[in-house]
Structure 1
Amino acid sequence: MVLKSICLVRHGSRKKYGDAKISDKKAFDDPTESTGAQHRPDDPLTVIGVEQANELAKYLASSHPEISVVYTSRHYRCLETAKPYVEICETEGRPIKFRLEIGLSEWQRVDRKTARAPSPKQLKEYHPTFDTEYQSLCHPLGHENLDEFYARNAYFLARLVQSLDNDPAAPESVLLCTSASNVAWIARILLGKYPDDPVEQDFEVPAIAFYKFSRRDIIPVEIDPTDRTELGYPQVDWQNKTAVGGSWGMTHNADCSFLSSGSIMLWTPSDIPEYLPPLEAVRMPKPCLPNYFDLQELNFEKSVVMTERAGKKSIAPVIAVGVPA
């Protein structure tokens, strides 16, 4: 069985930006991390974001039940977005695979810091059926300019289609949950669209916007491992519209009809900073900032220590008093 469709969704409304309405003018550049804001690279959803994730799950279960594998980026907001659909499928007795894909990590811009990926132990504790045996198809290799960001997403998509086409037990449809810029770039790659102006507003990406791409032709994916970009991603000639397994057509574009909140926290390519020159594409060390799970564990340890200290302080010294005969 070959892959027939790719569904794509942005994560829900996240706490760093809040539930910004489309009419609000919002700057989406990540601020430099500061004291007290270490959670920012991996913050959770807002209350509305959680509600959106639950509404997405119900919509997918009723309208797109063919999805049987979910790939999510390393970011906690994406895990939270995808989990309710996995839980609905399990409740209905339908097998579903829940996988962490590092290749779906947000754009590794030079001005952005990234938290480390959750460990297999953290993922299992988060959801017991998480597929911790899965090995990511792609990893960010450094600070990426726009061309390297295209290259990484194209290579991930090519590897995804190639691996599923070669797996007899592979699904017909998958769901990818990632960040806004990845959604726009993946859409461009699948459609073979390369705007002269990278900030062209060809795609709007609200929180939990749903996209679906159907495969029109079946062409085996071939990847030349010797032809690589400056950072080291294998080159994929996606602009010919066939490099990722054939031509793809879009059947759903930024669909938010199932959301009671409507379209909020809008992102478009015009929100990216000025074009980062090739010199900005450099190797970098692995992400070392704590992820959401790390911070929860650290906060728990601190609370235990504080409770123990408070308990010791509350114990008054016992003074022996003689009782007269």
Structure 2
Amino acid sequence: MVRKAFSAIALGLLYLISLLPLRFLYFLADGFYFILYYVVGYRRKVIDQNLQNAFPEKTATERELIRKNYTHYLADMVVETVKLLTMSAKQVRERVTVSNTKLVTDAFNAGQSVIGVLGHYGNWEMNALRFSQLFKERRVIVYKPLSNKLFDRMMMRMRSRFGATLVAMKDTARKLVEFRREPTVTVLVGDQTPARSDIKYFTQFLNQPTAVFLGPEKLAKMTNSVVVFCDIRPTGRGHYHCNFVPLYNSPKETAEHEITDTHVHYLEEVIRQKPQYWLWSHRRWKFQPQDVFGQDAAELTMAPLNTLQASA
């Protein structure tokens, strides 16, 4: 009961804070960054280890600069996401520009739906709200429910404010089957970490074997949907550009894991260009191949990672 009351109070405060101008919220973000970086050293060990594994060729000074810039951006993203609770559709449009939407409309005209894959790069929440305004056809956002029910409802309301259909990860395949008679564009975050019991495949990502979900590939093949990458790039403080990049028009003709490897490696190239905008504080590499597939997997080199898959 106490926890529920505390969550309700916190939720109310967030809504009040979201009414403040974004330029003022960035002052709060600067203070938040100072505390995160200089006072508490937010997840320093996790970030440092992730950066060291991903960029062994960089010096310690270069990696430290990435951590510093990432922490500052993380503070910005926190206040931007709070602002999204009350940001108008017009304000979102002014802050997120989009290109190459013709890829999606061409797919609709050809009788196909679209699977859009993105990563935890830039402010994916703000871009999701912009995505919600782009097409008249059904827009589906796949999400992972939060354990706190009050905050989960808050995030669902925020993400669906401009007409998107929210679908929990575990229900995605069933829902897309329900929507099969209408054109849909479905966006999924492709770099989430599967639970150990859900890991079926490892690929090479940022210089190390990485467990990945096969959902985007399986859904694309199941529905014969065009696959695009949602390439989100920050263009200024609180401003972004999203470009729809073509990956596959005929997913059923692709080799096993080809779609997965392609969207993961595309994201890696984006991260390498400006790494401070990716979610480095996440424990992305909790599992290694030998943890899932046994000690024999430890003897495999990086080159044949495509073979690291469950036998089931």
Q: Higher helix fraction: Structure 1 or Structure 2?
A: 2
Structures share fold, TM-score greater than 0.5: no
Which of the pair has more CA radius of gyration?
A: 1
**TM-score, normalised on structure 2?**
0.36
TM-score of the pair, normalised by structure 1: 0.35
Higher normalized strand content (fraction of residues): 2
Relative contact order (alpha carbons < 8 A, sep ≥ 6): 1 or 2 greater?
A: 1
